Chain A
Amino acid sequence: MSALGVVGGVVQPLLVVVGSPLLVGMMRQLRAKLEGRAGPGIGQPWRDLRKLFAKESVAPRGTSEVFRRAPLVLVATTLVVAVVVPFVTTESALDPVADLFAVVALLAAGTVALALAGLDTGTAFGGMGASREMTIIALVEPTLLVAIFALSVPVGSTNLAAIVSSTLHDPARVISPASLLAAVALVVVIVAETGRLPVDNPSTHLELTMVHEAMVLEYAGPDLALVELASAMRLSVFLGLLANLFLPWGIATTANPLAVLGAVVAVAVKVTLLGAALAVGEVFLAKVRLFRVPELLAGSFLLALLAVAASFFLA
């Protein structure tokens, strides 16, 4: 384990935990401004979290350990991903875990834990949300794997750190067709996975349309705070992954404090810009019908597959 890896392993989770509620707050504020509302301010998600953490923990009658453990599993898997994925430094604290398959599996494990918790409550909404989430994730996971795999083909390694540093050395690779197709596929999949418009509306509690909100309907107090924090963290992890896979510039390659500071600023700017673009896009989009979501995801899967095919036959 190198010094650079250790620095990354300490800085990255801190940055993700502190920054992700601010990112969510920024996106809500931007949407509010664009829709002509005053908006609650960027710090509102943190104020909500503080309020929720101060409450006592309650769980619905008849729920089992699955319901109580799911938020912890969700936060823990996301934290591990935040430690290992190259956001700030090109070297990872736990190099074997910074593998494409391990990272995608960790993220999926969190989703599955939450879906099980939704089923565990035994309510109609929890089960409905869980079944919808499973429908979506069944198409999201293969697309994620295949899209990032397309980037790993020219590198010859599925290690995310290796992919990022090789893009850093060969900038022309970013505009290769494989990379562009994979980027489009990844954007669609990230929108679906993080429950944003047009797949899921993060600000609705209308029973007919909610997916993510339906699963977490029974949570209250600190558990709800953990779930909210974890979903904000997942959003920033996905956006950070997207930013660094395609535009890795600014990432620290040495453990020099100045380089690390620059990398922190660079990744924060990139994720903020991506989040702002997502929020602006959401203002102009309506939610698609649930039956048309598989169409959207099948399309992005095809693009990811084409990306892999292109990286083989155009190389």
Chain B
Amino acid sequence: MSEATYTQLLDVTCGGLLFTAVLVLWRKELAVIIRVFAAQGVALAALVGVVAAHERSAELSGVAVGLLVLRAGVLPWLLHRALAKAGPGRRETRPLVNVAASLLAAAVLTLLAYAVSQPLVALAPSPATHAIPVGLTVVLVGFFVLVTRRRALSQLVGFLLMDNGITAIGFLTTAGIGLLVELGVSLDVLLAVLVLQILTTRMRETFGEADLDELRELHD
């Protein structure tokens, strides 16, 4: 793969990451948000795949396939199952900040990510490190979703968005953190989602609601 095509493909996958992060903020239906999250998983796996092809590393290609299965297959499937259990009436997010304002906030977060990551990029300028602001933007947008959404499921998506961003930064800066570490992190995320899913179900059984704002008082 020539250097120019490598840069081009890397940039396109980063654009995909950015675009899907914005879509998560933009859309209200949880089912659509989960589908967008799956698309982001594909973009992330493609990003790692491009890096793997550039480094000619079989290990990294394996990681890319694993990421594809986990982030575009297993996690969205788990989220879909949790959504199906929730029943009608719980299909839309109820953001604390309205959509237009959160989109403008995302614009500010993008600029912040760009400003903050300048010293990091200057350490070792290369096409991969130039894309660090994109990863950081995804992390910040994920954090924003985590903070401003009420439904447990959309907070979960925010958490996973953050994790996608962190993984992207990891691969962009170090070109592979080792198969073992990546496996550990992926298992961790999977476990977190499983635990949170069970927690959501239990919450709904107990309170009939997965709106975390309602949980203000302590009960016996």
Question: Chain A interface (Cβ within 8 Å of chain B)?
Answer: 172, 175-178, 180-181, 184, 294-295, 298-299, 301-303, 305-306, 309-310, 312-315
Known: A176-B11, A180-B12, A295-B26. 6 other contacts (CB 8 A): A177-B12, A180-B19, A181-B18, A302-B22, A309-B111, A313-B134
A313 to B98: give the CA distance in the assembly, Å. Answer: 29
11 contacting pairs across A/B (C-beta < 8 A): A172-B8, A175-B8, A176-B8, A177-B16, A298-B104, A305-B110, A306-B18, A309-B133, A310-B134, A313-B114, A314-B130
- Whether B15 pairs with A310 at a CB distance below 8 angstroms is yes
- Whether B103 pairs with A177 at a CB distance below 8 angstroms is no
Chain A proximity mask over B104-129: 1 for CB below 8 Å, otherwise 0:
10110011001000000100000000
Q: How far is the CB of A187 from chain B (nearest CB, A)?
A: 13
- Whether A298 pairs with B114 at a CB distance below 8 angstroms is no
A5 to B16: give the CA distance in the assembly, Å. Answer: 38
A178 to B19: give the CA distance in the assembly, Å. Answer: 11
Q: How far is the CB of A9 from chain B (nearest CB, A)?
A: 36
| A315 CB contacts on chain B under 8 angstroms | 130
Partner of A303, one of B19, B100, B134: B19
A306 to B109: give the CA distance in the assembly, Å. Answer: 11
Q: Given the interface contacts A176-B8, A177-B12, does A298 sit within 8 Å of B100 by beta carbon?
A: yes
Return the chain A residue nearest B18 by Cβ.
A306
| A176 CB contacts on chain B under 8 angstroms | 8, 11-12, 15
A295 to B100: give the CA distance in the assembly, Å. Answer: 5
- Whether B14 pairs with A314 at a CB distance below 8 angstroms is yes
- Whether A305 pairs with B15 at a CB distance below 8 angstroms is no
Chain B interface residue count, Cβ-Cβ cutoff 8 angstroms: 26
Q: Does B4 contact A (CB under 8 A)?
A: yes
| B16 CB contacts on chain A under 8 angstroms | 177
A178 to B131: give the CA distance in the assembly, Å. Answer: 12
Q: Given the interface contacts A302-B22, A313-B133, does A177 sit within 8 Å of B100 by beta carbon?
A: no
Partner of A184, one of B4, B19, B104: B19
| A312 CB contacts on chain B under 8 angstroms | 114
Q: How far is the CB of B29 from chain A (nearest CB, A)?
A: 13
A301 to B107: give the CA distance in the assembly, Å. Answer: 9
Q: How far is the CB of B18 from chain A (nearest CB, A)?
A: 6
Return the chain B residue nearest A313 by Cβ.
B133
Q: Does B177 contact A (CB under 8 A)?
A: no
Return the chain A residue nearest B100 by Cβ.
A298
- Whether B107 pairs with A305 at a CB distance below 8 angstroms is yes
- Whether B103 pairs with A302 at a CB distance below 8 angstroms is yes
- Whether A313 pairs with B19 at a CB distance below 8 angstroms is no
Q: Does B99 contact A (CB under 8 A)?
A: yes
Return the chain A residue nearest B8 by Cβ.
A172
Q: How far is the CB of B61 from chain A (nearest CB, A)?
A: 23
A177 to B16: give the CA distance in the assembly, Å. Answer: 8
- Whether B14 pairs with A177 at a CB distance below 8 angstroms is yes
